[in-house]
Chain A
Amino acid sequence: MRNEAGRGGGGYLAGARAGLPFALVVGAVAISFGVLARSLGWGVLAPIVFSVITFSASAQFAVAAVLGAGGGVFAAIAAAVLLNARFLPMGVAVAPFLKGGPLRRALEGQAVVDTSWALANRGGGRFDREYMIGATIPQAVAWIGGTALGVLGGDVVSDVERLGLDVIFPAFFLALLVVELRSGGKRAIVAAATAAALAAALVPFATPGVPVLAASCVAALLGLRGRSS
């Protein structure tokens, strides 16, 4: 068994506790999604179903943005898929630590969301499966509940940006990056710096979603270089 993090229910619970502060933010963002969907005339059912089955803020906001601006359905789908393409490398990274056969692994892979994936990162390419799944659960509940609240008119968070909540995600990713770099050595620092520079260079030219995907994959390929052992 590769999975040495088998801490049973304790891992899930610790993960859920770690995910709780983010669930509050996710809930606020979900309310704003619900309010946006209502303003676009999506009705009550569609936005809630969307949040239940897709469970992806970036993809859902992308669909709302494209359709809301009068764009076509294929443009909306393409925008959402490109944004979520980052889950491909994230899924590859956690893959060795998931359990069971292909079907169960495919299901467990659905628990990958940015914050949980980052929280479960143990450095050096290791991940804590139970912690990640645990951290996703409160955020899923908040995402679905917040969407319903927003759709049904409970606009309790008037503006996510005014409260500075939008900065929580990059701030949190930076914090985890610092932790990762303190333990990851020179290769990790070089990869991170390369990815940051590439992402910045790509933002003005590429469709949203492409910079993160392309920059991270290219930078990670630096791992092929100069393996001296």
Chain B
Amino acid sequence: MVKSKRKPLNEIMGSIQAYSRIFNIGCGGCASVCLAGGQREVNALNSEITAELKSQGLHKQIDGYTIERQCNNQFFQGLDEIVQKYDCLLSMACGAGVQFLAERFPTKPVFPALNTISIGIDRDIGLYEERCRACGECVLGYTGGICPVTRCAKSLFNGPCGGTNKGKCEISSEIPCAWQEIYVRLKDQNRLNDIRKIRPVMLWQNQVQRMTVQESYRQRYAQS
């Protein structure tokens, strides 16, 4: 899922500085799952903001509410009226959610409270590892289920480079070399032929905004 992390408090304080009635909207989807922007984090951030304002001798109205997801319009429905009572919105969703919220309420300034980090997996509670860059052309089939685009620092398609150091990446002795892992896994599966062939250049698809239309809905969205 999408992994995100809260912005530093001073950055959030800076974005709401000019407003006195602030509505902080959480997201019950990925942001909640990765403990960055669910109901609990909305409450925690609001408490922090209130305490900070108090220490500065300021007063603002700050309320919070968490909707099921901010990446689907139907979940905004209940907000239409209440949002009008505020002069700015904070979103604790990923970048997609923030944008969709801003699209729904185009007259309201919307500020992100999170930085969107990655598509990743849960290594443990509160510990997430990036695994996918959404390149749009999955190559995991020939790389033993290890993504060279995400996990190789140089996104090599014909690795490993000459910088591998005792199985680690040249950028850090803490980071495993993705291509070393690809090699070991394919060797164990007796599939080294998969990487013996030269992989031609990637036809990058993620250089323009992409629209996804599922095949079964093609008819429905076809331009007449």
Q: Do A and B bind each other?
A: no
